[in-house]
Amino acid sequence: MKKFAMMVILLMVIVFPILQVSRAYSVESTAREKALSFIENVLPIDISQYNVTFSKYYTVEILEGLPSEYVVYNLESEESLVNVTCRIENDALTFCMVSPKNGSVISDRQYENLIDAADSFLDRYQTHTGQDLEAIKNTLNDVDPTENMTVTAGDIKLTISNGGIWGNKETSFDWRHVYNGCEYPALSLGFSNGVFSTLNDGGIIYTIGDTTVNISEEQAINIAMNHIQNYSYTMPGGGEISDFNVTEERTEAWLVPSPREPYVLYPLWEVMLYLNQTYPGSVYALLVTVWADTGKVSSCSNQAAGGIIPEFPSWTPLPIMLIAIIAVAVIYRHNLHKQNRGRADQ
């Protein structure tokens, strides 16, 4: 019996790590395949001109149990070197960034203008993913991509933004679903100097739950004010801080979508209560989040100069480092960060 037990233990020691490595490789292999398929079938790049090679794979786990996978490929030709970074979440490709490192991207064809480029990309992306993007495509009719503008068709809102960084002209197309005043993420495309640069697709993994807004802005502010009457935080090294005085005329509230469970969004009020003084820890405001359908407080966190001291850890599905480098998606990133800052008390 002892020999048998020792054999079982030995097998576990040998086989279990092998199984773990095999599973990890399988996950990486799947992510690499998804990224490569996207590069070959969707990107407006003449792949026949490039030698496509795998560069790196890594994961970032912002929320426990829900890792984001990142895959990087190099596209190299005699004329240019291009890096393509893809993010895989919940088995779906949600982000892609094309970064020329040397020379210019070799396009698959000559596009008439940005509308032609965006419409063509959406056609291929729709075929690749199986999503119905016709309502999104229809918003491109009769718009001027050289102007900053917002158009609405049904529950779809398109915002076109133009800017520039490091001498480049950046244009973004940001689509949202709007229900009861709350904007839910759909799709965002970015172009640099007229060439595709980024895709950000929150709609492919996030579903929209109940969109009912039962709580008004005024009610949300009152709920937040009542909540902080019993709120306090502890300083490092001890010391309880409470009894906050709010400068009420500076109070702000905005309606954002937020997950109450993984990848399902509900309307949430974020209420910023600015304090009449700076409290210990450089705290100048309290951010209270309130579910717009139930009126239940989701979270309360301290807004501090130089950082945030949360009541409990908040989360966002996007790595902070990407926010800094994706210039064409700054607005999208900011809103997506806001929408995921409150995590529900289950």
State pLDDT tens for residues 71-122: 999 999 999 999 999 999 999 999 999 999 999 999 999 999 999 999 999 9
Residue 65 has pLDDT above 80, yes or no: no
pLDDT tens by residue, 197-240: 999 999 999 999 999 999 999 999 999 999 999 999 999 988 99
Determine which of 144-153, 163-172, 198-207 has the lowest per-residue pLDDT on average: 163-172
Query: pLDDT grade, residue 8 (50/70/90)?
Result: very low
Residue 46 covered by a domain: yes
Residue 172 covered by a domain: no
Which pLDDT score is estimated for 66? 76
Query: pLDDT grade, residue 137 (50/70/90)?
Result: very high
Residue 184 covered by a domain: no
Q: Per DSSP, what are the bridge partners of residue 58?
A: 70
Average of pLDDT values for 65-70? 86
Mean pLDDT of the chain: 85
Residue 15 covered by a domain: yes
Residue 211 covered by a domain: no
Among 56, 89, 110, the domain-final residue is 110
Which pLDDT score is estimated for 309? 41
Residue 281 covered by a domain: yes
d(CA 81, CA 74): 7
Which pLDDT score is estimated for 176? 98
Which pLDDT score is estimated for 131? 96
Determine which of 60-69, 171-180, 257-266 has the lowest per-residue pLDDT on average: 60-69
Residue 194 covered by a domain: no
The parent domain of residue 281 ranges over 217-339
Query: pLDDT grade, residue 26 (50/70/90)?
Result: low
Average of pLDDT values for 188-201? 97
* 261 or 218, higher pLDDT: 218
Query: pLDDT grade, residue 337 (50/70/90)?
Result: very low
Average of pLDDT values for 33-57? 97
Among 50, 82, 110, the domain-final residue is 110
Residue 83 covered by a domain: yes
Query: pLDDT grade, residue 1 (50/70/90)?
Result: low
Domain count along the chain? 2
Tell me the whole-structure pTM to 2 decimals: 0.78
Among 71, 87, 110, the domain-final residue is 110
